[in-house]
Structure formats: C-alpha cells, structure tokens
Amino acid sequence: MFHVVLHQPEIPPNTGNLMRLCVNTGNRLHLIRPLGFDLDDARLRRAGLDYREYAHVDVHDGFEEFIDAVDPVRLFAFTQYAETLYTEVAYADGDALLFGSESVGLPDAVLEHPAVTERLRIPIAPGGRSLNLANAAAIAVYEAWRQADFH
C-alpha cells in the first residue's frame, strides 16, 4: 500500500477523484489541513461517487502531524522544479507520494523538510504549465503500483 498525500488541497472534485483512485488501487489518502473545502461538500461527494464510503481517508492538522502519525518509509514530494523524473525511482510498499495544492504546489518549507526522501517531477511538453492535481497523482500512483506488479 502507498500513501497518497495532498498538502492543503483546494478543489473538492480533485480530492473526490483521488478518493476513487485510492479505493481502486488499494491505497490510503491523507489530507493535510487547511483544506479549501468542507469534507461534506456536494462537489466532493459527486466526484467521489459511491467510493467515498470505501475510501480510507485520514485528515491531519499539519505536515508535522502527518509525519508523526504515519512515519512513512519514504516520502516523495512531487514538484515541477525537481530534476529526478518520477519513473527513475523504485517505489516500495509504505512509500508516501506527496502533492501540493492546486494553486501553489508544495511550499519550500515542505520541499526542504528532512522527512522528504526525494523531489520528483512528472514531465510536461514545452509550453505546458502544470497538470491537474488528480491527474498528476494518478500518473504517480499507477507507476508505483505497476512497479509492484499491481499487487
């Protein structure tokens, strides 16, 4: 199992989509406050469909609280400014995949935190600016799961 971690997500449908993703890939979703929405938001429920009741979602009051509660084996922070591609890592059970908010990504204090094992980048074509949060997380989760032979 992998830990999919959203640092201060802002858009409910992205989180709802990631609830579905985590149910369908057997992973746990972690949300780090503050959240840009209420967990009862209708848009979150609509995006999560009936998967929401099956999703394993933990909400943490801050980044340090997440680290203390989960103590991930390794923590990979996804940022467009990293040199290492997400495909250059051998993922393992217990790893955490950390993504920033939709508008600003991960703050420097998180990217530079000693708990972060490595910063990873998902490439985009020249002229592109960024990927949707749910899409980026899905790319990373499926690569990690593929490496685990989809177990």
How do the domains of the chain map onto residue ranges? 3-147
Q: What is the pLDDT of residue 37?
A: 86
The mean per-residue pLDDT over the stretch 62-91 comes to 97
Q: Is a pLDDT exceeding 90 seen at residue 42?
A: no
* CATH class of domain segment(s) 3-147: alpha beta
Contact call for residues 31 and 9 (beta carbons, < 8 A) = yes
Sheet holding 118-121, edge to edge: 57-60, 28-32, 3-7, 96-99, 75-78, 118-121, 84-85
Q: What is the pLDDT of residues 44-66, one digit of tens each?
A: 666 555 667 788 999 999 999 99
Angle at 28 between CA 99 and CA 65, to 5 degrees: 65
